[in-house]
Amino acid sequence: MAHIEVNENLCKGCEMCVYACPQKIIALDKAKINTKGYHPATLVTPEKCVGCKACAIMCPDVAITVYR
Ligand code: SF4
Ligand code: SF4
C-alpha cells in the first residue's frame, strides 16, 4: 500500500505538501517539534494515500519519501 515517510528533522513546516496532496491527508503534527523548532508534517490517514508523489515533488526540502 502506498504511503509516505517524512524526515521530520528536514521539515520546516511550510505546509506546501499539505496543500499539494489531492487526498488532503497531510497535516502538521502540532504535538511534535523537530530540531529546527517546527511542527513536522505527518500523514494523517495513511490508507488514503495513492502514491501520487505530489507532496514529495512539492517539498522544497526533499523531506518526503513516497513508497508504492
Ligand atoms: S503521495 Fe500523493 S496521496 Fe500520498 S500523501 Fe503524497 S500527495 Fe498525498
Ligand atoms: S513541504 Fe516539506 S518542508 Fe514543507 S511541511 Fe511538507 S514536508 Fe515539511
Q: Which ligand is nearest to the CA of 34?
A: 2
Q: For residue range 13-47, what is the model confidence (pLDDT) as tens digits? A: 999 999 999 999 999 999 999 999 999 999 999 99
DSSP string, 21-60: -TT--EEE-TT---TTS-PPEEES-GGG-----HHHHH-T
User: How far away, in angstroms, is 64 Cα from ligand 2 center?
Assistant: 8
Between strands 3-6 and 64-67, the pairing is antiparallel
Cell numbers of 26, please? 497531510
Domain ranges of the chain: 3-67
Residue of 49, 57, 59, 62 to test ligand 1 pocket, by largest number of atoms within 8 Å of CB? 49
Q: Which residues contact 68 (CB under 8 A, 6 or more apart)?
A: 2, 51
**Cα→Cα distances 54→6, 34, 35, 58, Å:** 14, 23, 25, 6
Quote the pLDDT of residue 14: 98
Q: Which CATH class is domain 3-67?
A: alpha beta
